[in-house]
Structure 1
Amino acid sequence: MSQIEKVLYTGKTHTTGGRDGKARSEDGRLDVQLSSPGSAGAGTNPEQLFAAGWSACFIGAMGLAAKKMKVELPANVAVDAEVDLGTGGGAYFLQARLNVHLPGLERQVAEALAEAAHQTCPYSKATRGNIDVVINVV
């Protein structure tokens, strides 16, 4: 396991009530009501928050890869993240798909950028070997 040598940022939140509660960041920039997936609640859920964070990080990692490859990342780059919550063998699990949109780039270049990002994105590293992940260049 890799060790952090220098902490760049620490996200801090305080959550109460679990999946049907509330989460607020220390600085107040994040203040969300939580609801269980599929419920009638008005809030978001941990899977949506994870999908949003991972896709944002993944786009940043593609930007770094593009600079190294001397490729211009399209202005309208997007990642549609899908995080599934499911069960198997009586336990809960996650699985994910990242659908990467790199309009205007040749497919080979787009796939190379997505693969490079998947190797460097901290969220991808954290999930590697722990959950099923599929990266699709669409």
Structure 2
Amino acid sequence: MSVQYKVTERINPTDLTLPKKFYARINNGDDVSFDELTELISKVSNLNYGTVVGAIGTLIEVIEMQLTHGRKVRLSNLGTFFLTLRSSGTDTQEEFRRGDIKGARIRFRPGPRLQRLIPKLQYEKVTVFDSTQTTLPEG
């Protein structure tokens, strides 16, 4: 199956003075809900629905705990979760204060199996035909 994309006109975020250009953009489908995901896992494995819900719920709690302790969480072929910080810069290390930290982000770096997906992708252009962003394949 092909990844569907559309072409949209956008500004260059690194230089707002440049003229707009047309860029490819993923044509995202529906979200997969937690319930749907756990049902699918249950169907393709020998685990019942309740076991899958419990395991994923526990995984989320453990990831939260480990990130809070400044640890990276490596999940084999899935990938790695880690925290990054945003802060104001200071001229010297001694001048830096906790208040200079502006926030944190949870980041995710895909693992080898997910990375191998990228070169295998095929693309199919779709055309947006109304204001509700409903699309039809082009061709």
Q: TM-score range by the shorter chain?
A: under 0.3
Which of the pair is proportionally richer in strand?
A: 2
TM-score, structure 2 as length reference: 0.22
